[in-house]
Amino acid sequence: MAEAKKTVTLVQKHSGAGSKPGVNATLKGLGLGKVNRERELEDTPAVRGMIDRVRHLVTIKEGK
Check residue 63 and give its pLDDT. Answer: 63
- Record the pTM: 0.85
- With contact defined as beta carbons under 8 Å apart, do 27 and 33 qualify? yes
Domains in the chain, ordered, with CATH? 7-62 (3.30.1390.20)
Q: pLDDT digit string (tens) for 12-51? A: 999 999 999 899 999 999 999 999 999 999 999 999 999 9
Check residue 54 and give its pLDDT. Answer: 96
Q: pLDDT digit string (tens) for 50-63? A: 999 999 999 998 76
Check residue 61 and give its pLDDT. Answer: 86
**CA dist 17 to 7, 22, 24, 52, 58, Å?**
27, 12, 8, 18, 14
Check residue 62 and give its pLDDT. Answer: 76
In which element (H, E) is residue 33 found?
Answer: none
